Chain A
Amino acid sequence: MPVDGQPQSVRKAVVVGGNRIPFARTGGAYTKSSNQDMLTAALDGLIARFGLQEERIGEVAAGAVLKHSRDFNLTREAVLGSALSPETPAYDLQQACATGLETVLGLANKIRLGQLDSAIAGGVDSASDAPIAVSEGLREVLLDLSRAKTLPQRLQILARLRPKDLAPDAPNTGEPRTGLSMGEHQALTTAQWNISREAQDELALNSHRNLAAAYEAGFFDDLLTPYRGLTRDSNLRPDTSPEKLATLKPVFGRNLGSEATMTAGNSTPLTDGASTVLLASEDWADGHDLPKLATVLDGEAAAVDFVHGKDGLLMAPVFAVPRLLARNGLTLDDIDFFEIHEAFAGTVLSTLAAWEDEKFGRERLGLDGAFGKVDRSRLNVNGSSLAAGHPFAATGGRIVATLAKMLHEKGTSGGRPALGLVSVCAAGGQGVVALLEAYSAGTTPGDIHD
């Protein structure tokens, strides 16, 4: 029986593969690279890997969270600078840190509906090359000046300028409605769910160890293209240890009364980077002799009321995942790989704690009890953002391409295609989650899990 709301005529949208540039800590290797430079590089690597030179792709969607006003057509400009056919249309999308995953879901849906045969999803961010705006005072003066017609008018307007107006407006990641930074918000949630410093450090340690092991095994050989002398994520510390992580001083939540637990080691640093994912219909992939790694099954978005403190800023996926799995007739036990974006170790652990909490399950998720337990041996097995870094809009593409390859390598699990869950939290109290499955021929979406 088809799943509710999914017409039986929809096609499969498959992940062919991905490409990203190594992620660099801000102020590092990509200090002089713009969003457009990095996105173009990530696209060109993808084009080279899959032989897409001069190919007219159905649509390219990507975005950046920190964006210059001149980047109004960022993705299209990157396409024009790449080896793709200049007849490839493109658009920008932005949903904070969920940007990358949302481009995947939106394009996959277009493929499933038959509107597109091929698409490239992606994202890029540079915290190094961040836009700096002029102050509101100066901006108003400049705009009024441009409308003034006579010299006396112009002088009158200029006379309004005060020295403080000349200070630039640097970007910040604070929430506009609370004034709190993301880290401070997470510190509230971390404390609320009693997540220990040790547990956070352990998660961070696993992230580094798993990512380092994946590099050593050559797992990223066909997922990454070096850029500006960088061949691996510069944030990766293969030799980090519990002792080293334990020496770091807390940086968030120092005024909460309780013990501060969030350090630079268990929080993601500001990072520069770009990622891309090639999506296609089965026919297009076959017609181009390209692999089909995984199928994009479904996605779900959620948002929470963090402004009034009802839920933590980064807790929206806690609500999105149960809805997504219920719609697909699945439980956490059915999932072979969990890719839960590590904005902070505390975010992942708070999410898991909420799902394991009976009261939360009954009262907030409307279930009979706790939602369930995530098998930690299936969580972020090739590392995640704590080790790789987190160039906001590029994280979704990193995760989807990584997961698709893992699913492909796993193949089947218990007689059915292996399943993977992606969860990405985002500013504004939002979250986007997605379900992917190892590609297998013959089945159609909707009749897999009945």
Chain B
Amino acid sequence: MTDTYARLVNHGLGRDLARKLGLPQPAELRRYHPGQPLIDGPVLVGGSGPGADGIAAALLSWGLDVRRHAVPKEKLGGIVLVLDAVEAPVDLQQPVLAAAPSLRDLTPGGRVVTVSRVPGGTPSTAAARQGVDGLLRSLAKELRGGATGNGILLAEDISPTAPSALGALRFFLSGRSAFVDGQFVRVSSADGRMPDDADAPLAGKVAVVTGAARGIGAAIARTLHRDGATVVAVDVPAAGDHLAEVANGISGTALQLDITRDDAGQRIIEHAVQRHGRLDVVVHNAGITRDKLLANMDQARWGSVIDVNIGAQLRINEALLASEHFRSAPRIVAVASTSGIAGNRGQTNYAASKGGVMGMVRATAPLLAEYGGSINAVAPGFIETEMTARIPFATREIARRLNSLQQGGRPEDVAEAISFLAGDSGGGISGEVLRVCGQNLVGA
């Protein structure tokens, strides 16, 4: 699971050699650890108007060192470009070019975040807003040293300082978003609130994680626990020994359960409520692959992948939506996959199921809205797990490098995105798909 190449080109002789030969030099990403500062160095807030002022004030209230104008040669932790008021494509030029020279001053692991509005309005406004999309995605590809660029898209009537806009801004600036690059998050409502303790955003919450015995699921369980949640770790009975290890490591409870059982949703609710008194978050992570070219696909391979990866999620959601125990700002986060967006040879069944997850999330969002709830999907790209470690060397090496960060992500990177969406500050984001892929070059 270790990326030997990345280690080699980041130290001593290997580093010099890679530089001289022009080989890819994946940087060591800035990842979150409890207690660390939100970002290293001052943050430049570009753009003008009430939106930019509001964001600058929010950053100041977080104790950050804020600049409204670039100080030549000063190292910057991040740049926030507030473009919420652009009305025509020409409006982009001034704020963007004013901030541009500062890109050279970004520290390794620096952050660029755009704040703009969902395309709409007059043709001219829509063009300006959509222009931010192309701008940000290209800019993200220009950043080096593990720096990333991401954007926040505000719905028409949402303030740049709405809880989830600030929640997303915090997420993007922090080490929690290390492997999220070139992505937009859409804030569609003013729901949600900033956590009282930024290092324990899930304090007091009870979260269920399916497929928690190993890999990404185990990382999700550990991350939610680190962020303050009490975790119910769910996996098939046959994975019970690994599951017990995970649960015992995070003072959670293990629930051995086949999620394809008809009563799985009921069992999950009962366990959470009886043992922990409540249920706030459900993370649908359990998934399987049964790869085969479609021409060679059989019923068992197709059927089991669809049933585990999307059928079970739909049935469990039905039980959750019907339960009076899942009505207090509930959160559902489902794990999708970039395979479901860009497609992957040999994975028609898997991609169908993961595409299904994204469709399900979009259609379920309105159903949760009346309880102040949200549902979102996180789509991992190439993540270093036991599963991807079995991919043949050459294929794996290519898959790893095919993104702007030139490396695979870690299970923890996926878990961080899920924890963000599961928290109070994610409440204004619903029906969205957030990719954790290092800006994978395939599938947009």
Contacts and interface: CB of A to CB of B under 8 A. Distances in A.
Contacts of A54: 251
Chain A CB within 10 A, most for which of B255, B261, B275: B275
Interface in B270-284: 274-277
B247 interface: yes
A178 interface: no
B256 A222 contact: yes
Contacts of B256: 49, 221-222, 224-225
Given A224-B237, A225-B241, A289 B248 contact: no
Contacts of B233: 48
B244 A48 contact: yes
B240 A53 contact: no
B241 A226 contact: yes
B397 interface: no
Interface stretch (A39-47, A148-156, A357-365, A425-433): A39-47
A289 B237 contact: no
Contact of B237 (A44, A48, A53, A231): A231
B274 A51 contact: no
Contact of A53 (B239, B241, B251, B261): B251
B240 A225 contact: yes
Interface in A46-68: 47-51, 53-54
B257 A45 contact: no
A220 interface: yes
Interface in B257-294: 257-258, 261, 274-277
Interface in B358-399: none
Query: Interface range on chain B: under 10, 10 to 19, 20 to 34, or 35 or more?
Result: 20 to 34
Interface residues of A, number: 23
A291 interface: yes
A44 B276 CA distance: 20
A218 interface: yes
B258 A218 contact: yes
Contact of B248 (A44, A221, A224, A227): A44
A330 interface: no
Nearest to A227: B241
A241 B197 CA distance: 63
A45 B243 CA distance: 9
Contact of A47 (B240, B248, B261, B274): B248
Contacts of B239: 226
Interface string B230-257: 0001000111110111011001111111
A221 B251 contact: no
Contacts of A224: 237, 240, 256
A53 B250 CA distance: 9
A18 to B, nearest CB: 13
Nearest to A49: B254
Interface in A75-101: 83
A290 to B, nearest CB: 7
Given A221-B257, A225-B241, A48 B248 contact: yes
Contact of B238 (A41, A50, A222, A226): A226
B238 A218 contact: no
A47 B245 CA distance: 10
A44 B244 contact: yes
Contact of B245 (A44, A221, A290): A44
Contacts of A222: 255-256
Contacts of A226: 237-241
A141 to B, nearest CB: 45
Interface in A206-224: 218, 220-222, 224
A221 B238 CA distance: 9
A225 B275 contact: no
A221 B276 CA distance: 20
Interface in A88-136: none
A51 B251 contact: yes
A223 B247 CA distance: 16
B235 to A, nearest CB: 11
Given A48-B247, A49-B253, A53-B248, A289 B277 contact: yes
Nearest to A225: B240
A221 B255 CA distance: 9
A356 B310 CA distance: 56
A44 B241 CA distance: 9
Given A48-B253, A50-B253, A289-B275, A220 B244 contact: no
B275 A41 contact: no
A41 B242 CA distance: 11
A83 to B, nearest CB: 4
Contacts of A51: 247, 251-253, 275
B1 to A, nearest CB: 21
28 contacts: A45-B241, A45-B244, A45-B254, A47-B248, A48-B243, A48-B244, A48-B245, A49-B253, A49-B254, A51-B252, A51-B253, A51-B275, A53-B248, A218-B237, A218-B261, A220-B237, A222-B255, A224-B240, A225-B240, A225-B241, A225-B243, A225-B254, A226-B237, A226-B238, A226-B241, A231-B238, A231-B240, A289-B277
For the complex of A and B, list the 8 residue pairs with the smallest distance between their C-beta atoms, beginning with the closest.
A48-B244, A48-B254, A48-B247, A83-B248, A51-B253, A225-B240, A231-B238, A53-B251
Interface of A: 41, 44-45, 47-51, 53-54, 83, 218, 220-222, 224-227, 231, 289-291
Interface of B: 233, 237-241, 243-245, 247-248, 251-258, 261, 274-277
Given A48-B233, A49-B256, A224-B237, 6 more contacts: A51-B253, A51-B275, A54-B251, A221-B257, A226-B239, A226-B240
